[in-house]
Every structure is written in structure tokens, then in C-alpha cells.
Chains A and B, each alone.
Chain A
Amino acid sequence: MKFSVIIDALPYLLGAAVTTIWVSLLGVLLGQVIGVAVCVARQSGGRAADIAGGVYVSFFRGVPLLIQLLLIYYMLPLIGIDVPPLVASIAALGLASGAYVSEIYRGALNAVPHGQSEAALALGFPGRSIWARILLPQAFRISVPALVNELILLLKASSLISVVGVAELTRTSQTISASNFRPLEIYLAAGLIYLAINGALALFGTLVERRLQQA
């Protein structure tokens, strides 16, 4: 073990970690949008929407993420969308996350008593306002811990986008250890960086959860 190797590589690794973080963040945000849309569509869009949403959820939860990533990476050019690997990666992370998020929201919505929407209906609320004012705010609050967890999961999953050449933390570690022949030190450092980010996120999640419970 040579710690100097780690010190030398640290600036590059930390720079790559920043990429990892914002790719994951974008993935989570995209996942939120897709997840909420799919959830709402399945609940209020009729039978066809429910079935289509069900297939989407089942596919993206059943197929390994690595395959999803390659599928999107090779499929987009095929249908005429030529995007850099980074964009395909974010799209893949978002689509995968969306499937889980829609289920998180479904669970959270089930936890909102049915009588509340009935009360709103009885007051003459239009359907859209029931979603916007009654259901989603509560569902969001219930699902916050699950969503922070989602970010942690995506952060770990984002290591897979190294295979399409995105220079995030894992890919950068590979590149560095291939040139200095010190894989043990470099991957150890990378692992610790992932651990530190996830630890900070978990702490943040606990704080948010506590804040929400007080409110």
C-alpha cells in the first residue's frame, strides 16, 4: 500500500466524484418527473394507461440496469437521436429510477386516506386540483425518506455508466489504475469517496425526515 498514490490521484478522483454526483442528481430528478407522471397516469388515466404503466414498471425493475443502459445507448441512435453517452446515461438512470419512484408514490398515495379526496370532490374540486393540492403534497411528504434512499441507490448504480465511457468516479478510477498499476489503492480511495457521499446523504435524509415530522 502506498498512500502517496492516493494523494496524487485524489484531485482527479474528487473531480470525477462531482460528475458522479450531478449525473445521479439529474437522474433522480428525471426519475421524479417520470415516476410522478407514470403514477398519476396509472391511477387516473384509464385502463390502457394503467397497463402501459404496469409494463414500464415491470420492465425497468426486472431488467438489469446495465442492460437497460446499453439498450438506451444503442437504441437512441437507431431511432435517429444521436446523443453523447452522458445524456444516454442520465436518460437510463432516470427511466430506471422512474419505475421505482412511481411505485414509491403509489404506496404513499395509498397511505393518504381515501376520505380526503372524497371530501375535496364533495366541495367541487376539479380532479387536477385534488392531485396538486391534496394528494401529491402528502404523498411527497410520506415518500421523502424513500426518495433520499433513491438518490443513494442511484449514486451506486451510476458506477455502471462507466461502461459507456462516461468519466465518472468508477471510470476515472479504472483509467488511473490502468496507468499507474495501483488498482488496490485507487479503488479503495474510490470506494471511500462513494462511502463518504452516501454517508452524508443518509445523514441528510435523517435530518429532512426529522424536520418533516416536526412540521
Chain B
Amino acid sequence: MTAVSQTATPPRPASAGDAVPMVSIRGVGKSFGTNEVLRDIDLTVDRSEVVCLIGPSGSGKSTLLRCINFLEVYDRGEIRIEGKLVGYTDDAQRRRLSNRDLRDLRRNVGMVFQQFNLWPHMTALENVAEALVQVRGMDKAAASAHAGRMLDRVGLAAKADSYPARLSGGQQQRVAIARVIAMEPHLMLFDEPTSALDPELVGEVLQVMRDLAADGMTMVVVTHEMGFAANVADKVAFLDRGRIAAFGTPREVFHEATEPRVQQFLQTYHERNSF
């Protein structure tokens, strides 16, 4: 298995020095009308780190994740990826970035969705090859060959010519992951990647994610899979009502957190998942 490329050294602002974190979130807030969905979020993700965002539904974890690649617009604070401000010009005016500039940013940030979001009119191979042609400008043959290798990586070489409708949910999600890693992103965002899957299909997707983590991919994962968070994550952030209520290593959050909200959440989780 080839390690996901860390070859392209990203441009860094000179002042930031050597230790520019992959993702740096400072004082981020977002409101829908009078409803504050994110308040004063601070979070740092280092290179090759896996950070899981957990918490009750409606706590803002998916919104936060979607702000990182600006699918969701944040109002306050700043999010930086490899030192570059996300979504706005990095000056006093703070204008919204043009679509072209957003594209440049998103190229290096892959996203895996709860609903897979494969394009139903393309085969698995075409789904993976599409962005290579459209965004990376590869020729069709090279893109197909590369896409084939990526499908092989997620164990789906045999399904290259299948349309999404003929694949199981787990297989579709693995194709979606192949579609992202083909672009050799520096960072991958996962938005509840296993929540739409039948229980028996969750394992295969988590395995692919474990392999990615082992290869050194930087990942931010919104998940309800506490086992994955406990075993794979380097850091866990517990969100509640738009705030980070607890943050630390899995051990710190799961076993040592004193926040009543966290304990209550974990309690409910354990009750629901034990016989």
C-alpha cells in the first residue's frame, strides 16, 4: 500500500515558522439568525493526527466540519489550513474568497459524506476518475489507471464497472473514499461516514479508515462510533450546544472527563449499545 502523498510541500507563510498545524481553528462562531450553532471554537489538528468530533445530534459537529472546507460559511473567528485562511481574504477587509480561490483550497481537502454522494450516472471507476480529469487535468487513460489503483486500495477493484445503484452502502462509501484519496489530499474530513450504513457494513468502512490513519493521513472525523474514536483517534473533541465541552486524548475524554454533559452522553451511548 502506498502512503498517501505528503510529497507536495504546501506553501507556508514565512512568519508561521516550521510548526504550522494542518488545521487551526480560532474563535470560530456561526449563527443561523438568532440561533448560535457554533460558539468560540478553538481546535488544532496536527499533521498525521486523527481527531474525532463527537457529541449529541444538533451539537454542531457536522457544521464545524463543513466550515473547514467552507461548504458552510462561518461568521466569526478564523480557520486556517496549512496556514491559509479558509474562505476569506487574509487581510483587514476579510472579503469572501472567489470560487476559483476556494477551489484551490478544496483541492487539498477531501471530504467523505454520510450519504456517500456518488454520482449515480457514473461507474465506480468513473466516479473516482472524474475529478482527476476535471481538476487535476490528467488525461483520461492515466486517470482511469490511477482510479483503478485507488479502487484496489479500498478492496473494490472487481466493482470498477458497477454503477452505484448496484453497490451496497459499504461499497459505495469505500468508492467515495477512493474518490477522495485519488486526489492525494493533505487532509480528509469525514462527516458521519458510517451513519447511513446497515450495522453489518460499518466494519469494512472503518477498516479502510484505520488503514488511512495508519498511513499517516490527517483526518477529522465526525462519528457516533465510540469504538473507532477510542481506538484510532489521537484526540477527541466533545461538542455540546455549539461549544467544545471536552477535548483531549480518548482516554482523557472517555475516562477522565468530569463534565456532566460528557458523562451523560457516554452513559446513554453505553446503555443503547449494550444488551
A–B contact at 8 Å CB threshold (below) = no
A interface residues with partner B (beta carbon < 8 Å): none
